[in-house]
Amino acid sequence: MKSKPRFLSVMILVLMLSSILAGCNFGSSNEAGADKDKGGEKTSDSKQVLNISATADIPTLDSTQAHDAIAFDVLNNNNEGLYRQDENHQPQYGMAEKHDVSEDGVVHTFTLRDAKWSNGETVTANDFEFAWKRVFETAGPYNFMFVTASVKNSEAIMNEEMAASELGVKALDEKTLEVTLENPNPLFEILLTFPTFLPQNQKFVEELGDQYALEAENILSNGPFKLVDWQQEQSWKFEKNPDYYDADSVKLDNINVYVVKDSTTAANLYESNTIDRVKLSTSFVDQYKDSEEFQITKQAGLVFLRFNHNHEILKNKNIRKAVSMAIDRQGLTDVILKDGSTPLYGVVPEGFYFSPDKKDYRELNGDFNTGTIEEAQELFKQGLKEAGVDKLTVSINIADSEEMKKTAEYIQAQLQDNLPGFTLELKAVPFAQRLEIEKAVEYDLSLSTWGPDYSDPMTYLDMWVKGSSANRMDYHNPNLDQLVSKARLETDLSARYEMLLEIEQLLLGEDAALVPLYQRGEAVLQRSSIKGLVKHPSGPDFSYKWAYIE
């Protein structure tokens, strides 16, 4: 690959960052992995090291509090639940070595394998009971996953009608965990691969108190890797966990991840062999699209606009519909992003979720809130009149990454050009802060992302029920809530799918509650020497367990 021109300031930044990484023993996998045999197995004097980047720091290492892709990735590789996703994204045994189910499909009994925490203590059934109940005791943002999984009493506990101690999980003895469901749930096993269902060592958590999970040394591992270093806002580092029960399957010795928010710096770090995989921003797609190491794929994640439904003007449905119609998504994806992203007019993306008769969900439900600029302007005028104002000035809460900034600037131009009287102010903050602002619903508009937690349309739909920690905009439609509850209990797959379609129709067709923008694509440069790196379409993005450097 030919060297590309660089600005002096960028080179200085790259050299500074490279020196920092060298101080952390972050070397290139090309150098570390140069002495491999053809099968990718390590020789006695070689090292298997993968160096990658992330666009933001880890918001939390506490599995009961995690609610973002970066934390989920760290936890997925540092820890392991009853199940984990395999190379084909299917649930496989993790800490469980046996799973028995009662005839009525309600009582699930798990027998745990012999496994250790990184402090040498045994992983026990109590570690699961403790952690799962702690999700509710600490008002964990993903407590709704237990409702999705139909765990007994979870919805009543989430609604503060029962105590966390009454959750349907019980350690029968050190090796036996009993989980009772409200009803049979065909998604139960795949849901158990999600980090919210990870165990925690009660003694360790309680001894550390409010210091738990604030540093690398304040978290335990029972997974394929151990988090051994975390320099906040800079980098983190994994080491292979020699005490992991399936350590023979783990070939990487180290994974070094460091925070690089600037895409120019990231691309130059890739060219200088400092990192081995980089996600490309818009400005680099054309430059690298002919490289043999260039890859582009469609993702199941989406980007959308949230409205604060308490806002005196944004709570008006016509205003929300006007915003949706005024944004040219094709221009956004084709001209601004250019990374394989595609326009989206629904909350369930295309190409991943199919009905029992193999029809795409997106094709079945079609597009919502489309129209001409003229139609958008008429709706906007009507909405302003209904609200008793003649103009609208609001702000948009965004993360400070390049993708989000470019997207927000495009939206700003579209809305201000196409809707006379509309003024949009941009407020860029660090990723973790953007999430906190959303959780508090202290914004007007928020540019949000959502990646599927599991392989079913419900992962995009049940987040909008009242009280869901993923709702984050105080939206509420009682009919939607009732339909979600019915769909959770429905065992007829065809009837259930019709309900899933209807939920989206209520959310977008009846309420125009939010504005879907695009289904994400991903343009990356990745070394051809990297093998076995598994990227999942739902749940945590990556599993490093089977990766190696050839």
Q: What is the pTM of this model?
A: 0.76
Q: What are the sequence ranges of the domains in the chain?
A: 8-273+527-549, 301-521
Given a cut of 90, is residue 17 above it in pLDDT? no
Give the rounded distance of the alpha carbon of 59 from its chain centre. Answer: 12
Sign of CA dihedral 436, 441, 444, 448: positive
Share of the chain above pLDDT 70, in %: 92
Predicted local distance difference test score (pLDDT) of residue 282 = 80
On the question of pLDDT at 35 being above 90, the answer is no
The model's pLDDT over 186-229, given as tens digits with 9 standing for 90+, comes to 899 999 999 999 999 999 999 999 999 999 999 999 999 999 99
Give strand pairing partners of 428.
398
Span 152-193, pLDDT tens digits? 999 999 989 999 999 999 999 999 999 999 999 989 999 999
Whether the per-residue pLDDT at 24 is higher than 60: the answer is no
Residues 364-388 have a mean pLDDT of 98
Which residue, among 345, 337, 308, 360, has the nearest Cα to 406 in the 3D structure?
337
Nearest by Cα to 540 from 75, 45, 21, 42: 75
pLDDT digits 0-9 by tens, 46-105: 589 999 999 889 999 999 999 888 999 999 999 999 999 999 999 999 999 999 999 999
Average pLDDT for residues 34-47, to the nearest whole number? 41
| Count of beta carbons in the 10 Å neighbourhood of residue 228 | 16
Given a cut of 80, is residue 41 above it in pLDDT?
A: no
> What is the torsion angle, in degrees rounded to the nearest 10, for the CA atoms of residue 516, residue 517, residue 519 and residue 523?
-160
Fold (topology level) of 8-273+527-549: D-Maltodextrin-Binding Protein; domain 2 (3.40.190)
The answer to whether residue 128 scores a pLDDT higher than 90 is yes
Dig out the tokens for 379 from the structure.
């709706």
Q: What is the mean pLDDT of the chain?
A: 91
Q: What is the pLDDT of residue 469?
A: 84
Is 313:387 a contact under the CB 8 Å cutoff? yes
Confidence of residue 13 (pLDDT cuts 50, 70, 90): very low
Per CATH, 8-273+527-549 and 301-521 having the same topology is answered no
Cα(545)–Cα(54) distance, integer angstroms: 19
185 half-sphere exposure, CB direction, 13 A CA radius: 28
Q: In whole angstroms, what is the distance from residue 275 CA to residue 266 CA?
A: 8
In the block, which residue shows the tokens 């308490």? Answer: 310
pLDDT of residue 46: 58
Grade residue 14 by pLDDT with cuts at 50, 70 and 90: very low
Q: What is the pLDDT of residues 415-473, one digit of tens each?
A: 999 999 999 999 999 988 999 999 999 999 999 999 898 889 999 999 999 988 899 99
The predicted structure's pLDDT at residue 44: 33
Rounded Cα distance, 206 and 363, in Å: 50
Distance CA(499)–CA(484), nearest Å, equals 8
Q: Is the pLDDT of residue 9 over 80?
A: no
What pLDDT is attached to residue 506? 98
Q: How confident is the model at residue 36, as a pLDDT?
A: 35
Q: What 8-state DSSP symbol labels residue 359?
A: -
| Closest-CA residue to 50 (of 534, 536, 537, 538) | 534
Q: Which two tokens stand for residue 322?
A: 């006007």
Higher pLDDT: 297 or 123? It is 123
Domain 301-521 has what CATH class?
A: alpha beta
pLDDT in tens, 259-278: 998 888 999 999 999 999 99
